[in-house]
Structure 1
Amino acid sequence: MAPHDRLTTLLDKPTAATPPDVPPVLAVEGLTIAYGGTQVVHGVDLAIGRGQSLALIGESGSGKSTIARALLRLLPEGGRAQGRAVFEGVDVLALPERRFRPLRGRSIGFVPQDPGASLNPVRTIGAQGLEAAALLDLDSKAERREAVLETLAQVGLDDPRRVAASYPHELSGGMLQRVLIGLAVLPRPALLVADEPTSALDVTIQKRILDLLSDLQADLGNSLLLITHDLAIAAERADSLVVLKDGTVHESGATSEVFAAPSSAYARRLHADVPSLHPDRWADLRDVGERRRHGADATPARIEVAGLTKTFGRGDDALVAVDDVSFSVPAGTTHALVGESGSGKTTTIRLLVGLETPDSGSVEVAGAAVHQHNRAELREARRHLQLVYQNPFTSLDPLWKVERLVREPLDRYGVGTRAERRDRVREAVASVGLSEELLTRRPAALSGGQRQRVAIARALVLQPDVLVLDEPTSALDVSVQADIVQLLLRLQAERGLTYLFVSHDLALVRQLAHTVSVMRHGKVVESGPVAEVFAAPEHDYTRTLLASVPRGAER
C-alpha cells in the first residue's frame, strides 16, 4: 500500500464514540513534581478519554508545562516526578527510559509553544520531517518523504514540496506552527500534548490552528491535552478542564459545567479576566476618555496622521508597507491599530515615532510635525512621545537593576538633580503599582507582569503626553494582561495620557480603545469608534477578525 493510500485510509476511518466502560487513554493520579527539595506540583489527578480533549489552564508558574514535561519524561535535570501516569495501561512514570523512549513521538506527540525555538534553523523542513516519518512502518525513504508531503498538505500548507524544501526562517509563524503540528501527528500518536500552541499568533491564525487541532482529532481519533492560560479557548476546544494554580488543582470537571458556573475563586477570576467575555469590565475608566472625545470635555487632536505612505525596496521587489494611512487621536483617548502580522501596524508606529521616514504624508504630535525636526528637535519631541515594546524581557537591559532602567531616560535628558531623579523614579514605579523593594532587582528576577510595569514606568518617567503601545500584553497571561489594561486606563483617566495601541487582539481593543483603524496589506480598510465598528463591521476582513475571537461557546 502506498503512503498516500495508507494516510487516506486512516483519515477516512470514522471515529466511534468512546464507550463508557473503556478506560481513559491517560489517567494521572497523585502526580507530584519537585526540583531538588522544592515541590512545584502537588497531587494532581486528571483523566483523558479516548478521542476526548482536556484543557489544563492557569497562569504562568501554575505548573501546566511542568506536568506536560513530566508526562513526556522531559523534566530538566534535578526534576523528579512521583505518582502514577497510566497511558494505554502502562504507568509511564515507572518505565525505564529505554522502554519509554519508543513511546515519545510515536504514541505521545508533542506540539511545543515556540516553533522558532523548536525547529533546527540549519535543516530544511523536509529533512526534519523525515525524522518523524522514521517512526512509521514504511519500507523506503521515498515512502517516508511522500508521507511527510501528505502530512504537510493535511495541516493546510499550500505547496507542500516548497515548504519541505524551505528552512524555518523562510516560513511565517503560522506556517511554522502548522509544521510542528504536522510533525507531531505524522506518527499518528494516540495522545497529542499541545503546550500553548497559539499564544504568539494572530487571532485569525490562532483560530485556524485550533480548528486544525480539532479537525485532526476528529479525523484521527486521537486524544488531546491542551495547555493554555485562556479560559475562553479552553471552553471552546476542550471536553473537560483542569484549573491549576501554584501546582494545585483548584477545579476540574466537564467544560460546560466549569465554564458556566466556576466554583473556585481562582476559576472565577480567570473567567473575569477574559476580555471577550467581559468587554465592558473597565467601562467606567474608559468612559473618561470617551467624554474627552466629544461633548463638553472634547479635546483637540494630539496625534494627526495624514496620507502616510512607506515603500521598502524597488522595482519588482518593492513592498508598500503603509499605503495612504490617516487617523486622528484626541488628547486623553486611545486609538487602536489592528490587523494580522504584515498588515503595516508596526511600520506605521515606527513612522510615528520618527524611526522611519515616510515617502509621503505627514505625522503631527501635539501640533509639531515629527519629520520636519532636525536631530536635536526630534530628540526633544521624543520626551513627549514614548514607546512601550511588545516583549519587556528583551527591551530591558538584563544587567541593569530596575532603578537604573527607569532612571536612564532622566539621565539621558539631564532632568533634575540626582535626588530629584531618584524621587521621579520612585514616583513612576509607585504609579504602576510596584513596590520600592523591586528597585534593586534585575529583570530576570521579575515576573512577566512586573517587567511590563517596569517598561511602562520607564516610559512615564519623562512625563510624556503620548504613549505608543506595541502589543504590550501579547506575551502575558490573561490575568496579568487584565492588570496591565486596568493600569493603563487608570493612568489615562488620571493624567490625560494619549495612547496609540497596536494589537491583533480585538477583544482587548474593545476593552481599552475608543477608536480603531483596521489595517490589511498596509491599508486602512475600516475605521471609527470601537463600539460602532465592532457592532456593525462593514468590511469582510473586519468581520473575519471579529469571528476569530474565542468566546467560550458551549461545545
Structure 2
Amino acid sequence: TSHFSQVIEDVASRAILLVDGAIAKIGSPKEVISEFMAGCDDTEVFEHAETGEKIVVARDLVKRYISVDRGVVRAVNGVSFDVYTKEIFGIIGKSGAGKTTLSRIIAGLIEPTSGEINIKIGDDWVDMTKPGVEQRGRAKEYIGLLHQEYDLYPHRNVLDNLTDAIGLEFPKELAMRKAIVTLKMAGFTEEKSKEILERLPGQLSEGERHRVALAQVLIREPKIVILDEPTGTMDPITKIDVKHSIMHSRDDIDETFIVVSHDMEFVREICDRIALMRGGKIVEIGKTADVLAHLTEDERKIMTQAIPPA
C-alpha cells in the first residue's frame, strides 16, 4: 500500500488505484500508474530567479552532545555556508549526517556550541547565537519551520489550526479566504481546500495532514522557510503541486527556502544550490547538479529517492 509509484512498479504483480474509497482502476502496475498520473501537469516553466543579498551567514558552526554510550557526539562539526534572498537552498545527506540539527540552529530553536550564525532582518544582522527578544527572539518570527515530526492540534479543525490556534486572529470571512489561499499554496485544489476547513486532523490522510502543516508555516508569510523532509508523505502528484507552490511563493512574495531532504529527485528539481553533509560536516556545496554528481554509491542507495540514470 503506497503512493510511491516506483515502489508499486518495482514490487507488485498487480495493482489497484483507489479514488475516494472506490476502485478506479485494476491491472498491471504500469497501467494503474499511468491512470494515477493521467492529467498530471508538470510542464510549467519557471524563470531563473535572481537571488539577492546574503540573508543567512554561518561560520564554523559546531553543535556537540554528550551521549552515555557514545561520549561526545558532534552532530554539526565546523559548518560554514551562506544563503541568499529568494534562493532555494538544499541540505542533503544520509540519516545522522547532521541535517536536522543544522536546520534547528538556523531556525533559532537550539544554540550552537560554538561558531557564528547571523540572519538579516530588514537592514540589521541578528546574532542567532544570543538569546533574548532583541537577538534570536527577534528573528524567529520571520522564520518558518516545518518539522519532520510535525504536529497539528488534534481537537481543532483545519481552519482553527491555520488561524487562532497559532495566534493569528482574523474575522471569520477573512480567515477562511486566507486559509483557502494558503492551502492552495500547499498543494490542495480550491474545492478540496473548502471541503476540509471544518475537518479535524484525524479525519485527514497522512499526506493531507502534512500539507496542512505546510500551510500552517506558509500562512505567516515568513521571510525564510525551512522545510525538513517536506515530501516524506506526499504522493507524486501532490509533490508536483508543492514544488509549484514553493516556486510561486519565491517569485510572488520573495520568500527564501531552506530544504532539508532525502528526496534527491525533489532536490534536483527545486534547489538552486545544495550542501552535502557527512558526519556533521559540509563536504560539498554548490550548484545542485554538481553536488549530486559527487554522491557516493552508498549515499545513492540509502537516500530514499535514488537519482534516475542520466
TM range (shorter): 0.7 to 0.9
| Corresponding position of 1:405 | 161
Aligned pairs for 1:130-149 (under 5 A) are: none
1:132-158 deviation digits (Å, cap 9, x = unpaired): xxxxxxxxxxxxxxxxxxxxxxxxxxx
Matched, 1:345 2:99: yes
| Corresponding position of 1:6 | none
Matched, 1:244 2:20: no
| Corresponding position of 2:74 | 320
CA-CA distance at 1:305 after TM superposition: 2.0
| Corresponding position of 1:310 | 63
> RCO greater where, 1 or 2, for CA within 8 Å and sep 6 or more?
2
Query: How far apart are the structure 1 equivalents of 2:160 and 2:300?
Result: 45
- From 215, 227, 239, the equivalent of 1:469 is 227
Aligned pairs for 1:98-177 (under 5 A) are: none
| Corresponding position of 1:427 | 178
Would the aligned equivalents of 1:432 and 1:487 in 2 still touch at CA under 8 Å? no
| One-letter amino acid matched to 1:396 | L
Aligned pairs for 1:193-232 (under 5 A) are: 227-232=1-6
CA-CA distance at 1:323 after TM superposition: 0.8
- From 261, 265, 276, the equivalent of 1:518 is 276
Q: 1:524 to 1:542 in 2, by over 3 A?
A: farther
SS in structure 1 at match of 2:214: helix
SS in structure 2 at match of 1:390: coil
- From 118, 122, 137, the equivalent of 1:379 is 137
CA-CA distance at 1:547 after TM superposition: 11
| Corresponding position of 2:35 | 266
Aligned pairs for 1:257-296 (under 5 A) are: 258=30, 262=31, 266-269=35-38, 281=42, 284-285=45-46, 287=47, 290-293=48-51
CA-CA distance at 1:320 after TM superposition: 0.6
| Corresponding position of 2:117 | 363
Segments of 4+ moved more than 6 angstroms: none
Matched, 1:532 2:290: yes
Q: 1:385 to 1:425 in 2, by over 3 A?
A: farther
1:216-252 deviation digits (Å, cap 9, x = unpaired): xxxxxxxxxxx433222333445x3424223426252
1:178-237 deviation digits (Å, cap 9, x = unpaired): xxxxxxxxxxxxxxxxxxxxxxxxxxxxxxxxxxxxxxxxxxxxxxxxx43322233344
SS in structure 1 at match of 2:64: strand
Q: Which has the higher helix share?
A: 1
What is the aligned residue count?
A: 296
Would the aligned equivalents of 1:338 and 1:518 in 2 still touch at CA under 8 Å? yes
Unpaired runs of 5+ residues, structure 1, are 1-226, 274-280, 294-298
Query: How does the TM-score come out when normalised to structure 1?
Result: 0.48
Aligned pairs for 1:16-27 (under 5 A) are: none
Query: How does the TM-score come out when normalised to structure 2?
Result: 0.81
Query: How far apart are the structure 1 equivalents of 2:56 and 2:49?
Result: 17
Q: 1:506 to 1:372 in 2, by over 3 A?
A: same
| Corresponding position of 1:167 | none
SS in structure 2 at match of 1:528: strand
Would the aligned equivalents of 1:250 and 1:264 in 2 still touch at CA under 8 Å? no
Structure label with greater radius of gyration: 1
Would the aligned equivalents of 1:410 and 1:462 in 2 still touch at CA under 8 Å? no
Tell me how large the CA RMSD over aligned residues is: 3.3
| One-letter amino acid matched to 1:498 | T
Would the aligned equivalents of 1:351 and 1:357 in 2 still touch at CA under 8 Å? yes
Q: Aligned residues: percent identity?
A: 25
CA-CA distance at 1:437 after TM superposition: 4.8
SS in structure 2 at match of 1:348: helix
Aligned pairs for 1:487-526 (under 5 A) are: 487-526=245-284
